[in-house]
């Protein structure tokens, strides 16, 4: 049994990779550049009792994603990736009035176009096997819109809409497609934010942990979650959306 986690070298993706390994999956860890951290995730997967592989490619590139996934499939003709977690993401916050075209484009290609780039090469084999689980990492920002994040909110909002659309396309084939929308989770991504000020606005008065998000993703990836599809599940300590 194989699962792919994009952005699996650090943060939420790493915690998800370990969670899926504990469920018995061999986990393919995609990442962009951080070889040492990706290797560490692989070791954690092995400690959890399964195995994994590193799949280094830029999710914002359709060509790179297609080539990497086709190569993997050619090397594993009898297997298929039945769980896909589209998790890789970046933020480049700025008020729109100051935002450069590249800041808007890079966030869209990494957080939204990546959904197409990675899902497209894998969906056909899920359909053929009549089983699959796709979980897309959205954000509170994609539901509510957050100032300074027109690019990120647009990408995550688009990802939520794509989740709902694809869910309806493949439901008959026993493939579920859901999104998870975290609030503030303690990872490298939130470094530099004013934690004290933000915590004050969160009813639970704390940031979430990557493992808490991973538990939710693990449930959505499980057989038990088979009748949940097209949903967006918030995990944010009670932050109003
Ligand atoms: P993180 O700690 O910054 O990790 C980002 C991961 O994405 C890393 O593994 C990174 O690989 C990978 N990545 C970035 N760009 C990539 C690319 N072009 N191609 C392939 N991999 C790429 O982030 P995180 O906080 O765990 O966030 C994970 C997801 O949750 C993101 O989609 C984020 O938007 C979402 N999210 C996070 C929060 C939060 O509070 N942390 C809240 C809501 C939603 P390298 O290690 O090689 O750089």
Query: So what's the pLDDT on residue 223?
Result: 98
User: Which residues face 4 on adjacent strands?
Assistant: 28, 84
pLDDT tens digits along 74-109: 999 999 999 999 999 999 999 999 999 999 999 999
Ranges of residues in the chain whose predicted pLDDT is under 70: none
Instruction: State yes or no: is 2 an active-site residue.
Output: no
pLDDT tens digits along 109-130: 999 999 999 999 999 999 999 9
- What secondary structure does DSSP assign to 44-96, as a single string? HHHHTTS-EEEEE--TT-HHHHHHHHHHHHHH-TT--EEEEEE---------G
Considering the entire predicted model, what is its pTM? Answer: 0.98
Pocket-testing residue among 7, 44, 91, 187, ligand 1, by greatest number of atoms within 8 A of Cβ: 7
Pocket-testing residue among 32, 116, 138, ligand 1, by greatest number of atoms within 8 A of Cβ: 32
């Amino acid at each position: 049994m194989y699962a792919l986690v994009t952005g699996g070298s650090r943060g939420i993706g790493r915690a998800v990779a370990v969670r899926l390994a504990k469920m018995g999956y061999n986990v393919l860890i995609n990442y962009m550049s951080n070889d040492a951290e990706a290797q560490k995730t692989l070791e954690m997967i092995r400690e959890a009792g399964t195995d994994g592989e590193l799949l280094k490619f830029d999710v914002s590139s359709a060509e790179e994603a297609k080539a990497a996934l086709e190569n993997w499939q050619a090397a594993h003709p009898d297997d298929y990736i039945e769980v896909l977690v589209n998790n890789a993401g970046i933020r480049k916050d700025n008020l729109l009035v100051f935002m450069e075209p590249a800041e808007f484009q890079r966030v869209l290609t990494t957080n939204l176009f990546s959904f197409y780039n990675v899902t497209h090469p894998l969906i056909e084999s899920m359909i053929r096997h009549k089983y699959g689980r796709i979980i897309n990492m959205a954000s509170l920002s994609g539901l509510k819109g957050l100032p300074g994040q027109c690019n990120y909110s647009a990408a995550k909002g688009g990802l939520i809409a794509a989740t709902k659309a694809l869910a309806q396309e493949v439901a008959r084939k026993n493939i579920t497609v859901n999104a998870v929308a975290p609030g503030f989770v303690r990872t490298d991504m939130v470094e530099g934010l004013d934690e004290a000020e933000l915590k004050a606005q969160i009813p639970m008065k704390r940031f979430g942990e990557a493992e808490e998000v991973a538990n939710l993703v693990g449930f959505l990836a499980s057989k038990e979650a088979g009748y949940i599809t097209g949903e967006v599940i918030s995990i944010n300590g009670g932050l109003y959306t």
